[in-house]
Amino acid sequence: MISGNISKMYTQLTDTVAYELPMGDEKIPMNEYIGREIVLTYTGVINCTHCGRKTKKSYSQGHCYPCMSKLASCDMCIMKPETCHFDQGTCREPEWAQSHCMQPHYVYLANSSGVKVGITRETQIPTRWIDQGAIQALPIAKVDTRYHVGLMEVAIKSQLNDKTDWRKMLKNQVEKLNLSVIRDQIFNSCQDDIAMLAEQFGEGNLSLIDNAEQVEINYPVIEYPEKVKAHNFDKTEEVSGLLKGIKGQYLIFDTGVLNVRKFTGYELRLSV
């Protein structure tokens, strides 16, 4: 039996995605447990992932309320980068913003429950795609800052969805697509908006990528669910069942699915 506070699973893109579940000081190779009975028990303890203090409720995926209120990584502009207020001098943590937001970001297409547009830091490729359960992904533009990449995403969202249907993703109800063709269609339909943004950002701060290779992603799943029922440690202290696979940040049991990332900071016990 292993116990400890968990966080989102570490991933490695190989022929089949390899998953490790951080639990306390351990990193548990979850692929090895597919096809086996697993019991996860919530101890009732939640620790803030930033300051470590106990908290009765988790905010912004693993934070206590004070940290959620003060950290730049929990600000609304992380979810909506086009609302960045760094240049107004009101950023919660300017030094953090310099190292995270004022860095190159990519606009990408991903196919998880259908094609969507998304953005991510250069250092989060391909992690971001895996976390979303995408079976295919393609970078289509590189932009100098998070604020600018947010404006680019807004322009493309007028033509393309930016949400994932997590139930369809987990059922694997998704057809493979040629993302290069969709990229070219986007470039054509949004060319006026893109040209305007390129002028606004300044020379060299927006680069379209028209020659990237499409990335194919395979997940360790032996059987996808026909119906999706979500387990929730806030309602029951124990989740158990036969582990059928892992996709995105979800453990897929024969009894339902568990979004590991949602319970970041929760202290669990694992037995197999």
Task: Write down the pTM of the prediction.
Answer: 0.95
User: Is 244 found in the same domain as 134?
Assistant: no
User: Is 13 found in the same domain as 101?
Assistant: no
The predicted-structure confidence for 95-130, as pLDDT tens digits, reads as follows 999 999 999 999 999 999 999 999 999 999 999 999
Question: Is the pLDDT reported for residue 1 higher than 90?
Answer: no
Q: What is the C-alpha to C-alpha distance for residues 139 and 149, in angstroms, rounded to an integer?
A: 12
Please identify, among 216, 231, 246, the residue that sits at the C-terminal boundary of a domain: 216
User: Is 190 found in the same domain as 266?
Assistant: no
User: Is 252 found in the same domain as 175?
Assistant: no
The rounded mean pLDDT for the chain is: 96
User: Is 239 found in the same domain as 137?
Assistant: no
Q: What is the C-alpha to C-alpha distance for residues 65 and 92, in angstroms, rounded to an integer?
A: 15
Angular region, 44: left φ>0, alpha ψ -120 to 50, beta rest: left
- For the chain, the domain total comes to 2
User: Is 129 found in the same domain as 27?
Assistant: no
Mean predicted confidence (pLDDT) in 46-59: 96
* pLDDT confidence of residue 254: 97
Please identify, among 198, 216, 234, the residue that sits at the C-terminal boundary of a domain: 216
User: Is 172 found in the same domain as 124?
Assistant: yes
The predicted-structure confidence for 135-154, as pLDDT tens digits, reads as follows 999 999 999 999 999 999 99
Closest CA to 63 of 270, 271, 216, 264: 264
In angstroms, the first-to-last Cα distance of the chain is 8
Domain that holds residue 89: 72-216
User: Is 89 found in the same domain as 183?
Assistant: yes
